[in-house]
Amino acid sequence: MSGGWEPTASGVLTLPSGRRVRGRGRGAPLPEGPVPDLGVYLLGRRPEPVPWEDRWVRWPDFRLPADPAELRSALLEAWERSADERVELACQGGAGRTGTALACLAVLDGVPPADAVAYVRAHYRPRAVETPGQRRFVARFAPR
């Protein structure tokens, strides 16, 4: 196994369990340093190929995932693998869909759904999770 992200690396969110995942926008250049072992890409259209393992979850901008069960499956895999691998979650800008997915990942890690958006805003980006619908989605996201 390659180990996880450095805690001070760009976009890295440390979950309460100590697992670390990277959030980013695919519209920006790839950050310097190691590449992910797994990328979960939250986009309305299939993204361009990357030279690492990836999963695509169809999720139009400013909306909710087309298939919430598919998102849950991808997030469970991301959470499990983030124990000892570099996992990133990304949409185009890195705030709305990425923030929502990170907040759901925080719920899977034990953060109460009502607190997950605030957790991600405090530890990832202050404007993460952009729409009221995305905030409601996180609030209703069931822990494991």
- Which tokens in the block code for residue 12? 């890295």
Looking at the 3D structure of the chain, how many domains does it have?
A: 1
Give the domain CATH number at 62: 3.90.190.10
Instruction: Using the predicted structure, report yes or no on whether residue 143 has a pLDDT greater than 90.
Output: no
Residues 107/141, Cβ–Cβ less than 8 Å: yes
Q: What pLDDT digit, counting tens, does each position of 19-43 carry? A: 999 999 999 999 999 999 999 999 9
Residue 5 lies in a domain: no
Query: In which domain, by residue range, is 122 found?
Result: 16-140
Q: Is the pLDDT of residue 3 over 70?
A: no
The pLDDT of 63-91, averaged and rounded, is 97
Locate tokens 């469970």: which residue?
A: 76
Interval 75-98 mean pLDDT: 97
> Is this model's pTM higher than 0.85 or not?
yes
Residue 46 has phi, psi (to 5 degrees) of -55, 130
Sequence-ordered alpha helix ranges (H) in the chain: 68-81, 96-108, 113-123, 132-140
Looking only at the bridges linking them, the beta strands covering 20-25 and 12-14 are antiparallel
